[in-house]
DNA sequence: CAGTCGTGGCC
DNA sequence: TGGCCAAGACT
């Protein structure tokens, strides 16, 4: 990597901030420096693009305009507002942190990185972002943009996918930051990373800091940042059960931890959990599913297959393939062993659906029409 | 540390 | 289609 002289550091700061002053994006959370506004936007923006976040942010602020409103929010309503944004533990941690601020800090925001990071869902990056943008503290906010931008500017060869690398970048960025405008500096780096220095289709030729971009000057930009590849999603097979009685459908409450935790969804049974002999017929599989449901939940169901190809949905680490099945439940069934309840079709829009749940419902509707 | 945790967009 | 990416944090 390259080292910069004090003069070059000052020149970089002036060039970057001048560009930012004239070209910064007009975003809803940039109307003021209210820590509540900065915080909500930073959490929503984790692993999520700006254009996706904007409408969610506006709706969120109308419903929960203050940290007190968020602390007192109903979880189901909170999840409905967050519906479709993904990484739902972000929303639950958001409320926990709001309660921490109200209860532990009497509604007054802590201002240090150390204190901020003790709040649920606030890690090194978000603590740095809030401290610098809302409280003008001279601390770095090292996100994916900062890692990519400085890896290129300085030809840093460390793997940005490794957690340890963040500390190295923090120390480097501390020396490059202006003490008087840390929040603007951090945000300028993000705007740069979202435009001229994006991951793909970057345009260094026209970048305001192209003369500071060593990788560009050396013609080796394609080599930066150094980043190891992610593993590909593992296939997982499920049977999805649409158990209904007129307009009521049986929903299962997912466990309190793990993927899509606490959501109401059509019952899913892992394909691996259904044991059948090698040359089992389709009917054998359906009977095995019924036996499984009876032994697990004491529920007597009758299952029939729905035509059409399975519903597929890919997460970061899993690729689900769901075979949809329609089922009826014995009228006199006792649900006390089943972690779920009946939900009327007319109430579906009241509760938060995950994407894969929506896919299952839409596919079922399509099949019924045929 | 390495794995986990969603969704939408792009090529 | 599949792989990668997008203002990370938690276990």
pLDDT of residue A76: 96
| A312 CB neighbours strand B below 7 A | no
| H helix intervals, A182-261 | 182-193, 214-217
User: Does residue A183 lie within any of the structural domains?
Assistant: yes
Residue A49 and residue A175 share a domain = yes
Mean pLDDT of chain A: 95
Residue A245 and residue A157 share a domain = no
Residue A264 and residue A161 share a domain = no
- What element of type H or E holds A304? strand A301-305
Domain boundary residue, one of A223, A243, A263: A223
Residue A286 and residue A193 share a domain = no
What's the rounded mean pLDDT across residues A270-297? 87
Domain that residue A85 falls in: 6-223
Residue A266 and residue A175 share a domain = no
| A120 CB neighbours strand C below 7 A | yes
The phi and psi torsions of A305 (rounded to 5 degrees) equal -80, 145
Q: Which nucleotides of C are covered by protein (CB under 7 A)?
A: 2-10
| A84 CB neighbours strand C below 7 A | no
Q: Over pLDDT 90: what percentage of chain A?
A: 91
How distant is C1' of C3 from CA of A224, in Å? Answer: 18
How distant is C1' of C8 from CA of A85, in Å? Answer: 14
| A147 CB neighbours strand C below 7 A | no
Statement: residue A292 has pLDDT above 80: yes
What's the rounded mean pLDDT across residues A14-38? 97
| pLDDT (tens digit per residue) in A60-115 | 999 999 999 999 999 999 999 999 999 999 999 999 999 999 999 999 999 999 99
pLDDT of residue A218: 97
pLDDT of residue A85: 98
Residue A211 and residue A84 share a domain = yes
A50 Ramachandran zone, left/alpha/beta (phi>0; psi -120 to 50): alpha
């Amino acid at each position: 990597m390259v080292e910069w002289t004090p003069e070059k550091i000052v020149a970089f700061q002036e060039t970057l901030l001048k560009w930012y002053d004239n070209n910064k994006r007009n975003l809803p959370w940039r109307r003021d420096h209210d820590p509540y506004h900065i915080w909500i936007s930073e959490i929503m923006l984790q692993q999520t693009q700006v254009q996706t976040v904007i409408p969610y942010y506006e709706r969120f602020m109308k419903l929960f305009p203050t940290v007190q409103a968020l602390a007192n929010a109903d979880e189901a309503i909170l999840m409905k507002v967050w519906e479709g944004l993904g990484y739902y533990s972000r929303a639950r941690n958001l409320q926990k942190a709001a309660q921490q601020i109200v209860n532990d800090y009497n509604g007054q925001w802590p201002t240090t990185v150390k204190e901020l990071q003790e709040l649920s869902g606030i890690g090194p990056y978000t603590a740095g972002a809030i401290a610098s943008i809302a409280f003008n503290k001279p601390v770095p906010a090292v996100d994916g943009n900062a890692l990519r931008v400085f890896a290129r500017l300085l030809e840093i060869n460390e793997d940005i996918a490794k957690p340890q690398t963040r500390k190295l970048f923090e120390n480097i960025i501390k020396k490059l930051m202006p003490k008087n405008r840390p929040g603007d500096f951090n945000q300028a780096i993000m705007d740069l990373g979202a435009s001229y220095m994006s991951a793909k289709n970057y345009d260094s030729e026209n970048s305001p800091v192209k003369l500071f971009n060593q990788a560009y000057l050396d013609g080796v930009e394609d080599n930066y940042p150094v980043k190891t590849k992610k593993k590909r999603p593992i296939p997982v097979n499920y049977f999805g059960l649409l158990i209904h009685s007129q307009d009521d459908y049986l929903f299962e409450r997912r466990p309190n931890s793990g993927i899509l935790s606490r959501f109401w969804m059509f019952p899913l049974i892992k394909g691996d959990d259904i044991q059948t002999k090698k040359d089992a017929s389709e009917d054998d599989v359906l009977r095995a599913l019924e036996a499984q449901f009876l032994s697990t939940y004491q529920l007597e169901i009758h299952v029939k297959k729905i035509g059409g190809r399975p519903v597929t949905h890919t997460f970061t680490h899993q690729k689900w393939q769901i075979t949809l099945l329609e089922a009826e439940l014995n009228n006199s069934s006792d649900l006390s062993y089943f972690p779920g309840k009946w939900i009327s079709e007319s109430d579906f829009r009241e509760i938060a659906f995950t994407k894969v749940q929506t896919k299952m419902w839409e596919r079922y509707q399509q099949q019924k029409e045929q």
